[in-house]
A and B are shown apart, each in its own frame.
Chain A
């Protein structure tokens, strides 16, 4: 069963060259997909296109079906119902999307009340429980903090907590760990993988880190200049890439066990 199907998705800004050019793929239930590619390859645009988060100036063609619902034709009110409940999203810098002058607790309450009737205390209890689930210590203190009082890693974890609160069926992640330290990145990746194991959440993640993609993905899509140039299971793409571009991309990664550049060049 496929939770998401993308058929011939093309996205154009201002009649210029397509940012996304006839991209098609499907996401099986309970799977983790990673879209990789260099900056400007259109990987984030695909993600935003699926969620309906593109600016009005973008011209979207093709078909996106999520849980049988056509996402491109869907009304805004319907999308708002789905967002946060069935579909959730984590951005690169979650802190930037927070309101700087209200506490985490207040923002959490605002989010929950979009989706149901919760008393103040219910909101707080639920929030604290989910914050504990993402291994934030002292959730009560976090809820009383303003975004700037938390470190980048903590804000990112608050973002993940909000995203998973209502057990979404699918989680979109746009470079969720790029701004984080290596040990924190490892934690966040692990927590996202736990979501799939425990709650069967499907994950679509955009990343430029091939190591992360190799580690967590079932399927990897490689994008170049708006086109999906390669698609396959993670071991296929990493160990047996079909496209020249993927091979070059993999060869460009500086790895711990490569020959050191200081010895090999100059």
Chain B
């Protein structure tokens, strides 16, 4: 129904404009949607145990999530993508930099301030079963958030639970079930229902569909897109599956060893992404549509040593590495609108 050309317009819902009275977003321009989340030069360093070693998990990461938009963060294990989510949700303190939520500085606001944040930010995790209390019925689980924040009375919350089940396309009959009686897909739908129950502005989805079977995964992805459009939600979608991320986000951020490598519109990802690391990731995707032999590096062992690199963190693996790459870290530069890259290579 919508063509590829007006990707941006198609995200803006037509009916919801009523609950945006406190639009903060310092840098929101007139034409753009208000900024919900902004990270400015965020860093996270973990101090090691005995040897007083330091691990630079996240280095100098900046990103912007606008209302109703979906940003994907991709990268391999250890690239820092989940650490970013943990800093936003205050599970982990931020070492330096600034995190702005709805215009308010929430950097290291800590557990005491976190309750206020959770009204606006909710998370969905990879393993849905782990978020349930095993002996709590689905209905009670869905009402809990609403009661905790004092949004409604018991009677209202019970009604709302039925409405939430309908929103996530589950039968209200399941409200009296226990989590172990649900399938993985149903559990994840309930987890999503609870996350949106208190009407947050931002949903952080950390590998939310990775554990699901392919057919279930696609249904849950479709549901997420529908919910986003209906409720004007913003998504920060963390994952490692490039095809999935490309499919349900507006913009993709590629990370390696704690640093941003490339930022690009999702639509452009397969043809216009040009960072050597993004290329490598794209080359590692197995597709049912081609059986071409891929060029695969055989020597790579892990990114742990790369973090300490004075230059570009990717230079040890980069097929195009030059002298400067091991000496000087590349600065993020803009190639086109919305397409930014941290690489010393000149020609793309």
Interface residues of A (CB under 8 A from B): 38-39, 135-137, 151-154, 181-187, 189-191, 208-212, 214-215, 234-235, 238, 248-250, 252-266
Contacts and interface: CB of A to CB of B under 8 A. Distances in A.
Contact of B288 (A135, A184, A187, A238): A238
A179 B184 CA distance: 18
A135 B226 CA distance: 45
A184 B286 contact: no
A265 B213 CA distance: 20
Interface string B216-248: 011001100110111000000000111110111
B245 to A, nearest CB: 9
A152 B222 CA distance: 32
A256 B270 contact: yes
Contact of A261 (B77, B222, B286): B222
A259 B299 CA distance: 35
Contacts of B266: 260, 262
Interface string B236-264: 00001111101111100000000000000
Interface string B277-313: 0001111111111010010111111101000000000
Contacts of A186: 283-284, 286, 294, 296
Nearest to B221: A261
B76 interface: yes
B26 interface: no
Contacts of B284: 182-183, 185-186
Interface in B182-229: 184, 213-215, 217-218, 221-222, 225-226, 228-229
Q: Give the most central of A152, A215, A261: most B CB within 10 Å.
A: A261
B280 A39 contact: no
B338 interface: no
A183 B257 CA distance: 14
A153 B285 contact: no
A250 B288 CA distance: 8
Given A210-B288, A260-B266, A266-B225, A182 B240 contact: yes
Contact of B217 (A137, A181, A212, A254): A254
Contact of A183 (B2, B76, B215, B218): B76
17 contacts: A137-B299, A151-B304, A181-B77, A182-B281, A183-B280, A190-B294, A208-B213, A209-B286, A210-B288, A211-B286, A215-B286, A248-B215, A254-B221, A260-B248, A261-B221, A262-B250, A263-B2
